[in-house]
Amino acid sequence: SSAARPENRQAFVASCIDAYIKGNLPVTDGAGGAGAALGVFDGIDIDWEYPVACGIECGKPEDNANFTALMAEFRRQLDAVRPGLLLTVAVGAGIDKIRVTDPAAYHPYLDYINVMTYDFHGAWDAKTNHQSALFDSPNDPSTGDQKLYNSNDAIEAFISRGVPAAKLNLGIGYYGRGWTGVANANNGLYQTATGAAPGTYEAGIEDWKVLKNLAWPGYTDNTAGATWIYNGSTLWSFDT
């Protein structure tokens, strides 16, 4: 991978800086060229989903050290170009993804950590739940690590591992996660479902701009700090 060996990290970082900081773009249809995007970006954000843990694919144990080394290489090369260029990362908010990396080791190289405090739950779960709860709810039937799938526990996990609170940004998803075939009890919350709700582009996900215009009954979980809408068979969980 681009982070597995020192020479890979050096080459990958150099290519990112050449394109996004120095603005050297390939020429296409007469556009682009040396310095074409100079000054467009004030830094680089890294979204690796996920070191060690599983996302679309599962990482490897050595990704822990490789991730920290990659951040160190980005910081070194960015500072060599111009001190003050930003380096940020988007990171998973689940405790299963936080504990397998070393925030105390990598945060010194970063200006901010953007915590992806959404997608805690979705149609991959057999039961409906909040996709971006602020807090845990005693009514949530989740167990194990999933009991910590909320914004408060995610942020606390980073702080307890030595990350300054001022470096942590809370993520907001401008979309919802949805289920259909939802049992008609408890206004659809924490109920079994038959599958993903139909979406404009993909089943189980829908833009906020669409969801806010649905004339469905809306509900608020004041303990979890979360909202959802439910029409008797389909439920959408999203921030309002």
21 and 44 Cβ atoms separated by less than 8 Å: yes
DSSP H helices in 38-84:
63-81
List C-alpha distances in Å: 100 to 54, 65, 116, 201.
11, 10, 16, 33
Q: Report helix, strand or coil for 235.
A: strand
Whole-angstrom distance, CA of residue 193 vs CA of residue 127: 6
Q: Report helix, strand or coil for 134.
A: coil
The pair of three-digit structure tokens given for residue 18, joined into one six-digit string: 């050449």
92 and 56 Cβ atoms separated by less than 8 Å: no
Give every CB contact of residue 72 below 8 A, 6+ residues apart in sequence.
Answer: 106, 109
Would you call 57 a catalytic residue per the annotation?
A: no
The single residue of 7, 49, 57, 156 carrying the catalytic annotation is: 49
Whole-angstrom distance, CA of residue 22 vs CA of residue 223: 48
Whole-angstrom distance, CA of residue 25 vs CA of residue 113: 28
* Catalytic residue annotation: 49
